[in-house]
Structure 1
Amino acid sequence: MAGRLTRRTRVTRFDPAGTTVEREDTLAVEEPLEIRVNGRSFSVTMRSPGDDFDLVAGFLVSEGVIWSAEQLVSLRFCAGTDENGLQTFNVVDAQLSPETAPPDLSLERHVYTSSSCGICGTASIEAVEKAAHFGHSNDDRTWSATLIGSLPDRLREHQKVFDRTGGVHAAGLFDAAGKLLCLREDVGRHNAVDKVVGWALREGRLPLAGTTLQVSGRASFELVQKAHMAGIPVLAAVSAPSSLAVEHAEVAGMTLVGFSRGGAFNAYAGAHRITE
C-alpha cells in the first residue's frame, strides 16, 4: 500500500529566462475511499491511500459513532477493481459490535468530499459539545511554551511524503514530554487527523488526555471538533485558526495554539495550560 502514496509524472518547467526543461516530478496520490458501516455505504472521501483502517476508525470517532476499540469488531477491504482489473483497495467496511448503534441515517452522505467532516454541519457548537462522548476537557496538566513551540519542527522532521511531493498535510500526536506517538500524512488535513485518532482508538488509547495534536496547516473548526471528540486537550497549528475554531475550543475547555513558527505562537484558548 505504501507504494501507492506517490506517482511519477512528466512536467515542463518554465523559468523567468524563458527556457523550458522537461523532467519528472512526484505527485501525491489522491483516490476516493468509500466507507461502509455494517455493509451499508456511509460516506466517500478523497484521501491518500494508506492507513485506511485508521482513517475509517478515526472518521467514526469524529462522527460520534464509536469511542472505544471494543465497539469496532472488524475492518476489511471489499472487492473492487480498476479498468485494468487490479484490486483498488478503495472500499472499507467497518463492522460494529451488536451493542453499538449504527450511524444516524440523517447523517448519511452519498457525495464525494475532499476530507471527512461530520458533525461540522450542525447548527451550533453546543450540539457538538453534547455529542462528544468524553465531554468538556478538564485536563489539568501543563505544557511548557518551549515544548509547544518546538513541535512544528519535530513534526516536519517526519513528513516523508511531503519531502517527496510537497502536496500533503500532516498531523502528529505528541505526549506531554514531547515524544511523537503517531504521525500521519494525507492530501486532506482532516483525513490526517482522522488517521491519527483512528490509530489511537485501535490501540485502546482514547481518550487522549495529556497529548498535543500538532497539525501542519490552519486550525479549522473541523479539526478542533475532531480533537475534542478524541479527548485531546491541546491542538496546535502552524497557521491561523478560524473564529469558530476558537469559540469551540473555549466551549470544549481545550487549548488552541496558532501561528506556531520558529518557537513563537499565539494561544487563542486555554492559555492556562502553557507555562513559561
Structure 2
Amino acid sequence: MGRVTERRRVIRIRDGAVSTRPDTLVAEEPMEIRLGGKPLAITMRTPGDDFALAAGFLVSEGVLASAAELANIVYCAGATGEGGSNTYNVVDVRLADGVPVPDITLERNVYTTSSCGLCGKASLDAVRTTARWPLDTSADTPVRIEPATLSALPDRLRAAQRVFERTGGLHAAALFTTDGELLDIREDVGRHNAVDKIVGRALQQRRLPLSSCVLMVSGRASFELVQKAVMAGIPVLAAVSAPSSLAVDLAVETGLTLVGFLRGTSMNVYAGEHRLALSAAASTD
C-alpha cells in the first residue's frame, strides 16, 4: 500500500550555498471508486483512510446516509498491478440489500483532482433536494457558537496536523464541537478528500448527521466543501481562506453558516450568522 509520505533528493540553495539533501514529500496516488463493481470516480489522494474516503464521497453524492445502507468496502486485488498484485488504489463499495443503486452512466462518471473536487458539478437545486438532513431541523437544539471559539480553531487544527509538520504539503479538515473540542482530523493532498474522510469515518461510526458540529478546513471554502458539509448535516463550515461565490450561494440556499478568512480574531461571516453568538448588531457600510 502507498505510504503517506515519500523521500526524494533535492538540491537546496540557501543564501548562495548549494547542498543536496533528502526531502519528505506528501504521497499522491490515484484511487478509483467503484460502486457495485462499476467504475464511479477517480480521485487523486494521499493513501490512508481509503474506505472512509469512499464512504464520505458517497454521502456527499446522496448515495449513503447511514452505516446500515453500506454492506462493505473492499480493495480490488490485481486491478492495475503488474502480475495481478494488489495496488490498493481501487476500492469497490457494495450497498446493503434493498438500497437502490443509482444509475451510473458515462455522464455520471467523474474525475476528481486533488485540488478541485467535482469540477463542473455545480447544481444548487440538486444539493438542496437530495440533502437528507435539513440544517435547520437536524439538531435537537439550535446550534450556537461563540466567535471566540471559532477564532481558536485554526491554531488547534494546525497543531493537530502531524503529517503537515513533516511535508508542508497537506490540507486538513477537522471536526469540532461548538465548544471547540477536537473530535476528528484528517489530512490529505486534496481538501475535499480530507472532508470525505471525516464524513466517511462518521458514517462508519454511525454518527451521522453531524448536526451539532463545526467543520474547519485549512484552505478555501469551495462549492464542493459546502456541498459535503450540507450532505453530512454539518451546520457550520469555517475556512482560513476565501469562499467562492457559488459556495456562498449554496450556503444561503441551505441555511449553512459559512465563515471565511478565519485568522486570529478576524473573520468574515458570509451566511448563517444566526448561529453566531454576537454581542452587538452588525453594522453595514
Verify the 8 A CA contact 1:116 1:191 in the aligned structure 2: no
CA distance in 2, matches of 1:13, 1:119: 36
1:142 corresponding residue in structure 2: 144
Q: Which runs of 4+ in 1 moved over 3 A?
A: 81-87, 110-120, 136-139
Which secondary structure state, in structure 1, belongs to the residue aligned with residue 237 of structure 2?
A: strand
| 1:38-49 aligned within 5 A | 38-49=36-47
Deviations 1:221-240 (A, max 9, x none): 11000000000000000001
Contact 2:112/2:119 (8 A) holds in 1: no
SS in 1 for 2:77: coil
Residue 10 of structure 2 aligns to which amino acid in structure 1?
V
- Give the equivalent residue in structure 2 for 1:121: 121
- Cα RMSD (Å) of the superposition? 2.0
Distance in 1 separating the partners of 2:264 and 2:209: 30
Aligned pairs for 1:157-236 within 5 A: 157-236=159-238
State whether structure 2 residue 157 is matched by structure 1 residue 155.
yes
Does the 8 Å contact 1:120/1:221 carry over to 2?
no
Identify unmatched segments of 5+ residues in structure 2: 279-285
Match of 1:53 in 2: 51
Q: Aligned pair 1:74/2:56, yes or no?
A: no
| Structure 1: gaps spanning 5 or more residues | none
Letter in 2 for 1:251: E
Deviation of 1:110 after TM superposition, in Å, equals: 6.0
Assess if the C-alpha contact under 8 Å between 2:45 and 2:190 holds in 1.
yes
Question: How far does residue 38 in structure 1 lie from its aligned partner after superposition?
Answer: 1.1
Kindly tell me the number of residue pairs found equivalent between the two proteins: 273
Indicate if the aligned counterparts of 1:257 and 1:266 stay in contact, CA closer than 8 A: yes
In the other structure, the counterpart of 1:63 is: 61
How far, CA to CA, are the matches of 1:175 and 1:110 in structure 2?
A: 33
Find the aligned partners of 2:143 and 2:199 in 1 and give their Cα distance: 20
Cα offset for 1:135? 2.8
Name the structure 1 match of 2:259.
Answer: 257
CA deviation profile, 1:113-149 (whole Å, cap 9, x unmatched) = 3368459614x31221011121343452200111111
| Distance across 1 between alignment mates of 2:68 and 2:120 | 26
Which of 31, 34, 37 is 1:33 aligned to? 31
On the 8 A contact 2:135/2:234 being kept in 1, the answer is: no
Aligned to 1:109: 109
Q: Check the 8 A contact 2:35/2:92 in 1, yes or no.
A: yes
Relative to structure 1, the CA distance from residue 128 to residue 72 in structure 2 (aligned partners, 3 Å threshold; closer, same or farther) is same
Secondary structure at 1:8's aligned position in 2?
A: strand
Q: What percentage of residue pairs aligned between the two structures are identical?
A: 55
What's the TM-score once normalised by structure 2's chain length? 0.90
Q: 1:36, CA displacement in angstroms?
A: 1.0
Question: What is the CA–CA distance in structure 2 between the aligned matches of 1:115 and 1:145, rounded to whole Å?
Answer: 29
Alignment deviations for residues 93-130 of structure 1 (CA, whole Å, 9 cap, x no partner): 111012211133245326463368459614x3122101
Q: Which amino acid aligns with 1:121?
A: K
For residues 211-258 of structure 1, the C-alpha deviation after alignment (integer angstroms, 9 at most, x for no partner) is: 000000000111000000000000000001111111110111110000
1:166-193 alpha-carbon deviations (Å, 9 max, x no partner): 1110000111221111110000000000
Task: Note the alpha carbon deviations across 1:28-69, whole angstroms, 9 max, x for none.
Answer: 000011111111111111100000010000000011111111
State whether residues 96 and 102 of structure 1, in contact with CA within 8 Å, keep that contact through their aligned partners in structure 2. Answer: yes
Deviation at 1:83, TM superposition (A): 4.9
CA distance in 2, matches of 1:196, 1:166: 20
Instruction: Decide whether aligned partners of structure 1 residues 45 and 115 sit closer, same or farther in structure 2, where only a CA change above 3 A counts.
Output: farther
Q: Which moved more, 1:54-63 or 1:99-108?
A: 99-108
Q: 1:77 to 1:115 in 2, by over 3 A?
A: farther
1:100 aligns with 2:99: yes
C-alpha distance in 1, partners of 2:23/2:245? Answer: 37
